[in-house]
Structure 1
Amino acid sequence: MTATEPPRSGAQAVDRAVFVLNCFQGGDPELSLSELAQRAGFPVSTTFRLAQALVRGRLLDQDPATDRYRIGHGLACLARPALSRLGLDAAAPHLYALAAGIKITVSLSVPDADEALTLFQARPPIHFCHNQIPQERRPLRASAVGHALLAHTTAADGALFDTVRRRGFAVEEIDSEEPIRAIAVPVLGPDKQVWGALGVQARAVRLDHDLVRAVIPAMHRIAVRIGPYFHTAAAGDGFGAA
């Protein structure tokens, strides 16, 4: 323990370990020890102890060739019951089939406070590019997936949400070096309340209006097919009545 580090308790060590794991959110990154320490804001020595404990617990893996860390298979095993409870294990084959059919990555997002959280991504076997990967979190009121989630709740009013409900999907133009277009459709649970949203995005020159019209029916079919697997309560208390 360095002179600048406060005394450690069991609870503090757990909190720090969770903080280290959270550094791997988004994009499945591999991080060096120094990168991990920088993200976590901990001394390198502290980060090393925490990372090695997580490796021993199989929550992190360490590449023997590069010493870089990544999320471990043990964490996936722990997450499997939650994914099954949410319905993702049953829905995943349909999402991969949709991605292969339209040749664009398909994401499933759920509401989390005032944001849309990307819960799952199904990448196509061909025609994949990084422009198809959405940010992990997007504002509900400023994104296609957010508008699809909100449009069928009592929180939605105004011309924008009327348009989303009328045409059955939401559109977002994302400003970037290569302009990106995103579209999303709602996923309704067995109780007919919105549970999540299916979204796709790609370079606007590829996901043009003709392709949008072509893929929307397929997205709706899969949204209807996977809807019975989900329960609104699992996505967040009271969202459907927000």
Structure 2
Amino acid sequence: MTATEAPRSGARAVDRAVYVLNCFQGGDPELSLSELAHRAGLPVSTTFRLAQALVRGRLLEQDTATDRYRIGHGLACLARPALSRLGLDAAAPHLYALAAGIKITVSLSVPDDDEALTVFQARPPVSFCHNQIPRERSPLHSSAVGHALLAHTATGAERRELFDTVRRRGFAVEEIDSAEPIRAVAVPVLGPDKQVWGALGVQARAVRLDHDLVRAVVPAMHQIAVRIGPYFHTAAGAEFGAP
């Protein structure tokens, strides 16, 4: 191997390690070696070597009873500066208080190109179920959190046709098709300069999150959105830029 080949080989190994870590995006907290290899698109032997290196680096952990892999504490420690920079450290207590008060998981999403990216979830101590977990990424044009964001940024005919209604009402609603129909509700998070930085969202089975409950939880969501808005004016705005 020549000196010029080594960096390419090293970069390829790093890329593959990132592929393995990205396998944990979504709702699966633990994955087997074969599942990792399939999702990463890598041979099992290569995936095993990468996973073991990530375990040694504390970025992954391996359950000694099942041999399944999960995100390690080391990765959580590395993420803390980013969470603080985004304002999530300051916002988290308010989000958990809201979740406990309305007994539904509260998520915070930010714009990321043409998607809404969920960057934080606060689960309630009671009345939690898997239907409350939002998708990691949602299209801006077809999701409640996306509409809450676009209502304050979309322009022209697009805005007049749909998003002015959302803006006037103050919240967006999405009906999600599933075995148990799910309803999602979102409100924007605005900074002091009225720029939108993110959206607070909740979702639950439609039979539970009915129109009466929507009317009850939206004011509480707006209240918390106002409280955390200044954190994201100074932090998330610098990170993601004004939409």
TM-score, with structure 1 as normaliser:
0.93
Q: 184-193 or 154-163: which moved more?
A: 154-163
Corresponding residue SS for 1:107: strand
Report the AA paired with residue 218 of structure 1: A
The answer for the alignment partner of 1:150 in structure 2 is 150
The answer for the alignment partner of 2:199 in structure 1 is 197
The answer for the alignment partner of 2:3 in structure 1 is none
Q: Deviations over 1:24-78 (max 9, x none)?
A: 0012520111111111111111001100110011000111111110000100100
The answer for the alignment partner of 2:164 in structure 1 is 162
What pairs up with 1:166-181 in 2 under 5 angstroms?
A: 166-181=168-183
Q: Whole-Å Cα distance in 2 between the matches of residues 11 and 227 of structure 1?
A: 39
**What percentage of aligned pairs have identical amino acids?**
87
What pairs up with 1:92-131 in 2 under 5 angstroms?
A: 92-131=92-131
Q: 64-73 or 227-236: which moved more?
A: 227-236
Q: 186-195 or 47-56: which moved more?
A: 186-195
The answer for the alignment partner of 1:18 in structure 2 is 18
Corresponding residue SS for 2:120: strand
The answer for the alignment partner of 1:208 in structure 2 is 210
Report the AA paired with residue 201 of structure 1: Q
Q: Whole-Å Cα distance in 2 between the matches of residues 97 and 215 of structure 1?
A: 13
Q: Is the 1:187–1:197 Cα contact (8 Å) retained in structure 2?
A: yes
The answer for the alignment partner of 1:184 in structure 2 is 186
Give every structure 1 segment of 4 or more consecutive aligned residues whose post-TM-superposition deviation is greater than 3 Å: none
Q: Is the 1:196–1:235 Cα contact (8 Å) retained in structure 2?
A: no
The answer for the alignment partner of 2:240 in structure 1 is 236
Q: Whole-Å Cα distance in 1 between the matches of residues 124 and 108 of structure 2?
A: 14
Aligned length: 233
Q: Deviations over 1:84-103 (max 9, x none)?
A: 00000110111011000000
Report the AA paired with residue 99 of structure 1: A
Shift of residue 192, structure 1, vs aligned partner: 2.1
What pairs up with 1:36-115 in 2 under 5 angstroms?
A: 36-115=36-115
Corresponding residue SS for 2:110: strand
Q: Deviations over 1:171-212 (max 9, x none)?
A: 111111111111000001243210000000111111011000
Q: Whole-Å Cα distance in 2 between the matches of residues 12 and 163 of structure 1?
A: 48
Q: 150-159 or 62-71: which moved more?
A: 150-159
Give structure 2 stretches of 5+ with no counterpart: 1-6
Corresponding residue SS for 2:70: strand
Q: Deviations over 1:216-242 (max 9, x none)?
A: 000000000011111353352341xxx
Q: Whole-Å Cα distance in 2 between the matches of residues 51 and 65 of structure 1?
A: 17
RMSD value over aligned CA atoms?
A: 1.4
Taking a change above 3 Å as real, the CA distance of residues 238 and 218 of structure 1, as seen in their structure-2 partners, is closer
Q: Is the 1:190–1:230 Cα contact (8 Å) retained in structure 2?
A: no
1:30 aligns with 2:27: no
Q: Is the 2:60–2:70 Cα contact (8 Å) retained in structure 1?
A: yes
Corresponding residue SS for 1:9: helix
Give structure 1 stretches of 5+ with no counterpart: 1-6
